[in-house]
Amino acid sequence: GDSVIQMQGQVTLSENDFLFINCTYSTTGYPTLFWYVQYSGEGPQLLLQVTTANNKGSSRGFEATYDKGTTSFHLQKTSVQEIDSAVYYCAMSNYAQGLTFGLGTRVSVFP
């Protein structure tokens, strides 16, 4: 079945540090890949969508890259701020099945 593996459970950074989160996926179909962010007390919201046709996406200073050869996709931000503290999920969509989420990475940024 479909799966998404997100290894980093927790990342602690200082402001202006570099953030990098990596995910790999497995599917038999043609997935669309996403990054969602969840702030405390809220539901997840879309941060970036990376389709297999385009290898990159960017939003709010975050950039997502996708490598079809290794079936991996990454999220990065050059200089994080305290407001970026949240849980970040990689996710994969395969038609009507809903989203398959990674385990989530809790990012804590300290001033």
Partner 1 sequence: ETAVFQTPNYHVTQVGNEVSFNCKQTLGHDTMYWYKQDSKKLLKIMFSYNNKQLIVNETVPRRFSPQSSDKAHLNLRIKSVEPEDSAVYLCASSLGTGVYEQYFGPGTRLTVL
| CB burial readout 53-77, b (16+ within 10 A) else e | eeeebeeeebbbebeeeebbbbbbb
The CA distance from 81 to 84, in Å, is: 5
Shortest spacing between CB 67 and partner 1, in angstroms: 19
CB 55, min distance to partner 1, A: 16
Which residue, 38 or 72, is less far from partner 1 as judged by CB? 38
Q: Which stretches of the chain bind partner 1, using CB under 8 A?
A: 32, 34, 38, 41-46, 49, 51, 87, 89, 93-101, 103-104, 106
Nearer to partner 1, 39 or 110 (CB): 39
With H, G, I as helix, E, B as strand and everything else as coil, classify residue 95.
helix
**Would you say 9 or 79 has its CB closer to partner 1?**
9
Query: Hey, is 42 helix, strand or coil?
Result: coil
